[in-house]
Structure 1
């Protein structure tokens, strides 16, 4: 069972339906016991970093997520959910994230169109089971105004080029993030979710 975290942020049904399409057992939940009893966690998210962190803290879900991940449970952060996995964001101020991975969320450099929105191609930084059967130059769908500046670029499996190398898929141990929306990214997104399914078996 995969627990899709419901904390009042994001369109959860798109993720749920994509998992169902792959015959993955999933539940949309904000309940601690259901998250504790799950085999893996998906943390989706759209909108502002600070708002999302406030929702997680108000509900106590930040602690639930951290406890589960520290026990070795796989987590997949999607879009804003990926950014929340990191230490800090500079979106309209300076805000602490979950701190599960090292790095900060920063503004795109001057002169780039923001948000970075639409289809962009992937480049392979590191071979890993999560990116099995993903080829150089495949396209996925992005929508974001800030991007990850990772402390360790070896955590980056795939990146895209948007005036700067933008981490697209990150992974360290049981912690995975995808900056784009796999559920909106056609066959490439489905392949990545299938690989996630294999990883958590």
Structure 2
């Protein structure tokens, strides 16, 4: 059995004190040994947490301290689209710490950050006007099925070309593809909350 995480250990006091389960039952539910259950209950009674906070950590000591991690968390919470090199410069200028990009990448994973596509929201959006519009539509339309929306989508020969692929190390990922876009097909569908009501194709 691998090392039990702190999240798993946190379930043990709950099952023991709140649900009044016996140690053998907890072992079967969580798939752990009795020694782990007893030690977790002892740490919970002594320190208030399901692990020993004073235990010596394995491996080399971390280069970034807790205040450095809090600083990284703060600047990423305010500026979510920063590059690793920009975070590196901010740490050097404001904290006097020079770390590698690999250390930053591992720190972000440990802080539960992940690299994602940006979900953009309009800066000009007015929540008060949005609420007023929703209330007005609720007064005008009694049944949501009465609503119909239009959308536009287009494609050509280069629309479905993929930007990423696989190749052996040291070799290019070469694929023969169209460079000329060709004719453009546009579709204008009429959408309801339940189905597509009608559509129109335009070949440009």
Band the TM-score falls in, shorter-chain normalisation: under 0.3
Asked which structure has the greater CA Rg, the reply is 2
| TM-score for both structures, normalised by structure 2 | 0.18
By percentage of residues, which structure has more strand?
1
| TM-score for both structures, normalised by structure 1 | 0.19
Q: Greater relative contact order: 1 or 2 (C-alpha under 8 angstroms, separation 6 or more)? A: 1
By percentage of residues, which structure has more helix?
2
